[in-house]
Amino acid sequence: MDLKQRSRPDEWAAVPHAAPSLTGERRPRVLVVDDEPNIRSILLRALGGGGYELSEAPDGESALAIIEAGGVDVVLSDLLMPGMSGTELLSLAKSRDDALGFIILTGVGTMEDAIRALRLQADDYLLKPFNLDEVLLSVERALRHRRLVLENRYYQEHLEGRVAEQAQQIESLFADALFTIAGAVEARDGYTGGHIERVTRYAVATGRAMGVNADTLRQLWVAGLLHDVGKVAIPDQILGKPGRLSQEEYGIMQRHPTIGANILERSSFLRPAIDGVLHHHERWDGTGYPQRLRGEEISLVGRILAVADAYDAIVTTRPYRKKSPSEAAVAELRRCAGTQFDPEVVEAFLRALRDGLPEAADPYLVPGRGWGVAAVA
Ligand SMILES: [Fe+2]
């Protein structure tokens, strides 16, 4: 084979630009390590026709310094050298770059040396006097192996990131769709608008007044926005009925927390808020719905939402009654503390009310503009 005619392996051109330290822009770099200058020069001459960028080192220490500086793809190293041996260099070099190609060349190798080198993941072990074609084939094999390792690693890392990103986008789209549905439900429910947003703000303010952690704040946020999303399945004639509901109609209405929880179940993103949605009509004395839970059997998020929801319902005009002033709502919450509501939650809500409930809508609460998870943490 005429070494001067030899070109780079075709596959080399296909190395992805993004793969670290093996870009298609630069030539593969080969480092020749041997204490004998004439061996180095034979090898460098042979490799010179292969399109590689070449470096040389007379011993292991200086070779390691070149490897640590980065950019070396394959090392061709003598086994026996003064100072650091070829296998010591192999071990240290692999600890710096585990995908580094490494070929051991030796004139005095024993079987033990060969086994040790291969155990340390040398790509090849060639005996002197070596055939230059064999050396070149070995270098190409080592480069191909390195390229595959780096490509696999690169695609694995980037694919995982991409899949996670897409999963998050899907979750986010699902959440946005639900917020839109929740907004539509609010309109059907006879509120003039802003109820779910106000309930969410009141609930978050109450949670803050109670000193809850970031996870619970997040749940308050999501459960607040989606607490009545299950009403999407409640017929208009029940949802918008101006008068009192019949027993049967009330039974249908009482399904909405369970329906809402089932909707949230479909998203791992929203699932932590399920209890809040499911429990927002439970009562502290155990006479609520749908599960007739009592006291602290009801999730804290559910207990907080119950208070926030009731307060807003009282101060807002509904199809079946006019709104009442805030003082009347406060009196009603106090009257029902210990029966309908958790007394501690009522106290925290009243503290938040005294301190001034947030007036402006938090931009993170607006559907379609993100749902505030990051903003809470
Ligand atoms: Fe509700």
* Distance (Å, whole) CA 334 – CA 318: 22
pLDDT, residue 194, reads 80
CA of 169 to the centre of ligand 1 (A): 28
- For 23-42, write each residue's pLDDT tens digit: 456 789 999 999 999 999 99
Q: Is the pTM of this model over 0.75?
A: no
Write the single-letter amino acid at 325: P
Can you give the residue ranges of every domain in the chain?
3-160, 189-376
| CA distance to 304, 321, 356, per residue, from 359 (Å) | 19, 24, 8
User: How far, in Å, CA of 57 to CA of 244, rounded?
Assistant: 92
Query: Are 347 and 201 within 8 A, CB to CB?
Result: no
Distance from Cα 163 to the centre of ligand 1, integer Å: 35
Q: What is the DSSP letter of 14?
A: G
- Centre of ligand 1 to C-alpha 249, Å, is 14
At 192 the pLDDT is 60
What spacing in Å lies between the alpha carbon of 260 and ligand 1's midpoint?
9
Q: How far is the CA of 66 from the centre of ligand 1 (A)?
A: 68
Q: What's the 310 CA to ligand 1 centre distance in angstroms?
A: 10
- Residue stretches of the chain with pLDDT short of 50: 1-23, 361, 363-377
Q: What is the pLDDT of residue 4?
A: 34
Bridge partners for 32 per DSSP: 56, 76
Calculate how far, in angstroms, residue 278's C-alpha sits from the geometric centre of ligand 1. 9
**In three state form, how does the secondary structure of 133-193 look?**
HHHHHHHHHHHHHHHHHHHHHHHHHHHHHHHHHHHHHHHHHHHHHHHHHHHHHHHHCCCCC
**How remote is the CA of residue 241 from the centroid of ligand 1, in Å?**
15
pLDDT on residue 358? 67
Angle, helices 86-96/111-119, rounded to nearest 10 degrees: 0
Expressed in angstroms and rounded, the spacing between residue 228 Cα and the centre of ligand 1 is 5
Q: What is the DSSP string of 15-63?
A: S-TTSTT--TTS--EEEEE-S-HHHHHHHHHHHHTTT-EEEEESSHHHH
Ligand 1 center–CA 238 separation, angstroms: 13
How many angstroms is it from 236 CA to the middle of ligand 1?
15
Q: Compute, in angstroms, the gap from residue 273 CA to the centroid of ligand 1.
A: 14
- In terms of Cβ atoms closer than 10 Å to its own Cβ (0-12, 13-18, 19+), residue 247 is exposed
User: Minimal CA–CA distance to 368: which of 224, 197, 176, 196?
Assistant: 176
- Ligand 1 centroid to Cα of residue 168, in Å, is 28
CA of 275 to the centre of ligand 1 (A): 13
- Stated length of the chain: 377
Q: Please identify which residue in the block is written with the tokens 């501690």.
A: 344
Q: What is the residue-wise DSSP string for 113-133?
A: HHHHHHHTT-SEEEESSPPHH
Buried b (16+ CB within 10 A) or exposed e, 98-121: ebbbbbbbbeebeeebbebbeebe
DSSP string of 293-308, one letter each residue: --GGGS-HHHHHHHHH
Task: Give the CATH superfamily of 189-376.
Answer: Hypothetical protein af1432 (1.10.3210.10)
Phi and psi angles of residue 241, each rounded to the nearest 5 degrees, phi first = -65, 125
What CA–CA distance (Å, rounded) separates 102 from 123?
5
Position 371 scores a pLDDT of 42
Distance 357 CA to ligand 1 centre (A): 21
How many angstroms is it from 254 CA to the middle of ligand 1? 8
Residue 80's CB is within 10 A of a number of other CB atoms, namely 14
Cα end-to-end span (Å), the chain: 66
Q: How many angstroms separate the alpha carbon of residue 23 from the centre of ligand 1?
A: 58
Looking at domain 3-160, its CATH architecture is: 3-Layer(aba) Sandwich (3.40)
The number of beta carbons lying within 10 Å of the beta carbon of residue 308 is 27
CA of 198 to the centre of ligand 1 (A): 14
- What separation in Å is there between the alpha carbon of 349 and the centre of ligand 1? 18
Q: Rounded to the nearest whole angstrom, what is the distance from the C-alpha of residue 230 to the centroid of ligand 1?
A: 8
CA 284 – ligand 1 centroid, Å: 16
**Ligand 1: distance of its center to the CA of 207 in Å?**
19
